[in-house]
Amino acid sequence: MLELHRFRLVREALMFRDYLVSIGIPCRLDGLDGQVRLVILQARDFEKAQAVLADFLNDPDSARFREASWQSGIILPEGAFAQAERSYWRHIWQISGRLTLVVMVLCAGVFLLERINPETVLPGLFFASSWSQLELQPYRLLTPVVLHFSWLHLLFNMLWWWELGRRLEMTQGSWRLLSVALFSAVVSNVTQFVWSGPNFGGLSGVIMGLVGYMAAYRWYNPAQTFGLPKGVVIAMIVIMALGMLGWLDAVFGATANAAHLGGLLSGAILGGLLAMVDRRHSRG
């Protein structure tokens, strides 16, 4: 038996397995380390399977693969699918920092409370209505970041927070992630308050802070990539620009554009400063 490939998505593994079987290549699927491993049972078929795999990875949605999957009556061995799913979620847990997950749970919990009792939750967590109130309740500098006003708003922010937050936490630690998040939260919230008043919320200012931090830190320390494709930073800046033009309002409602800009700039400033400090410490 020879291992051919490891799939992250169970459905892709099933589709490819079905196609191999349809062309006469015996194979098997196993759950392993958060992925699905495909094993070729006979060595003489391995080279042919490699060629087919290259075609599949190039175009997994090709009709020939989908048709084979529909026509196949083969199923995973008993327990294999469940094992693969369990391994997958263990893998997700392993690559997610604890602070990253805590913030996600906190935002989700607050969102559920908003649905149950918005009259109490929203006024209690909005930014202060005046600077004098802020002096008495300084926690309001931070609380707007846990507010979300729709399922789409929450899901969008949680996906980006998980993608960016875990990368920073796993490479530089929970304290560094906490520092960046708190700093960008305060700056983005104050910026939005000055721009439009206290009625806003969402984690997107902090997310833009992470984008700015990673981009600036990577600029000064190119070796620190955070495992983040360059296109992600560009995509987030494009999304911010679309929001400032008002093109996202139909999907997400009124967007906190000032918070996005404040978060991006504050994160970039902090990223540049800490990159220089870290580089100096590494030399010393």
- Residue 76's CATH number: 3.30.70.2350
67 and 175, same domain (yes or no)? no
Of 92, 108, 126, at which residue does a domain stop?
92
55 and 129, same domain (yes or no)? no
Of 44, 69, 92, at which residue does a domain stop?
92
174 and 113, same domain (yes or no)? yes
77 and 212, same domain (yes or no)? no
Of 75, 92, 109, at which residue does a domain stop?
92
Catalytic residue among 69, 87, 204, 266: 204
Alpha-carbon dihedral sign for residues 274, 279, 280, 282:
positive
Answer yes or no: are the C-beta atoms of 40 and 46 closer than 8 Å.
yes
142 and 252, same domain (yes or no)? yes
What's the pTM value of the predicted model, to 2 decimals? 0.69
211 and 246, same domain (yes or no)? yes
pLDDT tens, the chain, 284 aa long: 789 998 877 778 888 988 998 899 999 888 766 678 899 999 899 999 999 999 898 888 787 887 776 665 444 454 555 555 565 566 667 678 899 999 999 999 999 999 999 999 999 999 999 999 999 999 999 999 999 999 999 999 999 999 999 989 988 999 999 999 999 999 999 999 999 899 999 999 999 999 999 999 989 888 777 877 777 878 888 888 887 777 777 666 678 889 999 999 999 999 999 999 988 877 75
Catalytic residue among 5, 148, 153, 260: 260
157 and 85, same domain (yes or no)? no
167 and 54, same domain (yes or no)? no
163 and 270, same domain (yes or no)? yes
Tell me the backbone φ, ψ of residue 40, rounded to 5 degrees: -90, 130
241 and 263, same domain (yes or no)? yes
Instruction: Give residue 78's domain range.
Output: 2-92
Q: What residues does 101 pair with on adjacent strands?
A: none
Q: Determine the pLDDT at residue 138.
A: 96
11 and 115, same domain (yes or no)? no
Number of domains, the chain: 2
Tell me whether residue 204 is one of the annotated catalytic residues: yes
Q: What residues does 39 pair with on adjacent strands?
A: 3, 28
- Residue 143's CATH number: 1.20.1540.10
Render 149-179 in DSSP notation, one character per residue.
SSHHHHHHHHHHHHHHHHHHHHHH-HHHHHH
